[in-house]
Structure 1
Amino acid sequence: MPAEPPLRQGNLLPARVLVAAWSLLVVIAVLAWVLTVRQAGDMGVEPGTMGMGIPLFLLLWLVMMAAMMLPSVAPVAITWVRWIGRSSTGVARAARTAAFTGGYLFVWTAFGLLAYWALAATGDLVRDHPGAGRWIGFTVFLLAGLQQLGPLKNVCLRHCRSPMSQLMGYAQFRHWARDFRVGAHHGLYCVGCCWGLMIVLIPLGVMNIAAMAGVAAVIFIEKLWRLGPAFSTAVGVILLVLAGLAPFQDWLLPGLQPSDAPMHMP
């Protein structure tokens, strides 16, 4: 198969096509938020997996990732649409963009397996030893803060903020399932960038809508704001402060409170 044409002005898509692509991703994200909010209202905030098996949890996790991550990945997806350019028909562009998004969400769904096991382990521990929740919260906030300030975060964040050179390199991929693999490859960088922020849902509650919205906003700002790297560092410092407070402030740990234990608000 011939290589994709170079990304130059002559290959760029009309504005209406790019607007349509943006609109589609926004609609998907909004629908995912609606489904997530409705499901969260039925389930509440509890420790562990809330009785869900792996298939149901991964389905819910996939919807959550679409809600939380699509707004921040949209610029990269649109850049890929521009790369596809005029070499594809409208239907083919839509299919290839869907394949890119599918590959990206596939990686985050695989990460959901790790999240499921972590939630199951912490949930069992909290039910057997309620006081352990404070130290789980301390550990999670500490790991998240250190990850925000670590070298892997910087490398992956630079890629997520400026992916053009990497996208250019994707032209060397073999054509079979290329768009899915490109999305998955970018998703791996995104997991490397954001896993620390995701694990704070363990103490805050995996179905805590306010926490999900806050994490999604942090990810969006980190990737798209001009001062995103500095903002990322500030978030890391805040997470370290929360780690110091977690053993003494139960209100920071709604996702680690046994269902029959009241939360003490300051």
Structure 2
Amino acid sequence: MFRSARLSTSTPLRNGNLLPARALAYAWSLMALLALLAWLVTVAQARDMGVEPGTMGMGLPLFLGLWLVMMAAMMLPSVAPVAITWVRGIRRRAVGVARAARVAQFTGGYLLAWGLFGLLVYAALGATGDLVDEHPGAGRWIGAGAFALAGLHQLGPLKDVCLRHCRSPMGQLVRYAGFRPWARDFRVGAHHGLFCVGCCWGLMLILVPLGVMNVAAMAGVAAVIFIEKLWGRGPYVATAVGVVFLALAVLVLFDPFTDWLLPGLTHSGSEMEMGRMR
């Protein structure tokens, strides 16, 4: 299935896993442009939909399409260094359009991994939405559980393993060099995306209580992901965020004035009144 191969020893790296500033600037500029376009689409869609429990009336195809746009907005800036390291480290003679095509394949595979996770998110939103409709008081318990699970994940071993991979992926990229050429860039992106899902699924989970279309929450999660992966003290930030989530879980459960933390699990007064009228 695999064949032996190695990254070129002449790959221009610094400190073992960093590319020259110009290459990184190009990668980040391209990914940042795509992320900006994705943010514009997401914000426009969120303005029309608002924040409420459940899937907000979206069918699965529409939700997955919007979810992938959201993931592009939130994740592309932090994955840009890995993508450009990969395409420059293997068959470096590819330039221009060929290199852009390879980056596109890598990104497509990466987003596929997040699309599969989106299926679970859609199922979770559907289940929690139905439960909150039938038992409005359950939203507080669901929110507390989501914050607690996210906090435990931030402090757990899976987060540590996957975050170390995302921060220093060179060892895994060398292994990827042994993949057979067929759709290799796409498969490498998907494989790296699975590591990223393992690293960040807890952060995405808090969008259930905060609202999956809550732009402020999405921006906050995206900022945390970027800092965790690219800042030298990112692992300490991950730990601190986990502690905050656990504290919020307790606060949500015992403080009756924390509905502002649960917009994705509570109906507004006008919505509840309309429901009673119907």
Greater per-residue helix proportion: 1
8 Å contact from structure 2 (residues 90, 177) kept in 1: no
Report how far residue 9 of structure 1 moved. 4.0
Q: In angstroms, what is the RMSD of aligned CA positions?
A: 2.1
Residue of structure 2 in register with 1:30 after alignment: 36
TM-score by length of 2: 0.89
Residue of structure 2 in register with 1:87 after alignment: 93
Residue of structure 2 in register with 1:250 after alignment: 259
8 Å contact from structure 2 (residues 24, 81) kept in 1: no
Residue of structure 2 in register with 1:225 after alignment: 231
8 Å contact from structure 2 (residues 32, 77) kept in 1: yes
1:100 equivalenced with 2:102 (yes/no): no
Give distance in 1, aligned partners of 2:181 and 2:158. 30
Unaligned runs of 5+ in 1: none
Report how far residue 77 of structure 1 moved. 1.1
Matched to 1:183, the amino acid is G
TM-score by length of 1: 0.93
- Listed as ranges, the matches of 1:182-193 within 5 Å are 182-193=188-199
Deviates more, 1:30-39 or 1:84-93: 84-93
Could you tell me the percent identity over the aligned residues?
71
Report how far residue 19 of structure 1 moved. 4.1
Give distance in 2, aligned partners of 1:22 and 1:223. 14
Give distance in 2, aligned partners of 1:183 and 1:190. 10
Report how far residue 87 of structure 1 moved. 2.5
Residue of structure 2 in register with 1:51 after alignment: 57
SS of residue in 1 equivalent to 2:264 = helix
Distance change (3 Å), C-alpha of 1:112 and 1:92: same
Matched to 1:226, the amino acid is G
Give distance in 2, aligned partners of 1:204 and 1:146. 18
Matched to 1:251, the amino acid is W
Q: Number of residue pairs matched?
A: 262
Distance change (3 Å), C-alpha of 1:2 and 1:94: farther
Residue of structure 2 in register with 1:76 after alignment: 82
Give distance in 1, aligned partners of 2:13 and 2:242. 40
Give distance in 1, aligned partners of 2:106 and 2:242. 30
Unaligned runs of 5+ in 2: 274-278
Report how far residue 94 of structure 1 moved. 1.2
- Listed as ranges, the matches of 1:1-266 within 5 Å are 3=5, 5-9=7-11, 19-84=25-90, 86-247=92-253, 248=255, 249-259=258-268, 260-261=271-272
Distance change (3 Å), C-alpha of 1:14 and 1:72: closer
SS of residue in 2 equivalent to 1:255 = coil
Give distance in 2, aligned partners of 1:15 and 1:217. 21
Report how far residue 17 of structure 1 moved. 6.1
Matched to 2:264, the amino acid is G
Matched to 2:29, the amino acid is S
Give distance in 2, aligned partners of 1:79 and 1:116. 33
Distance change (3 Å), C-alpha of 1:241 and 1:164: same
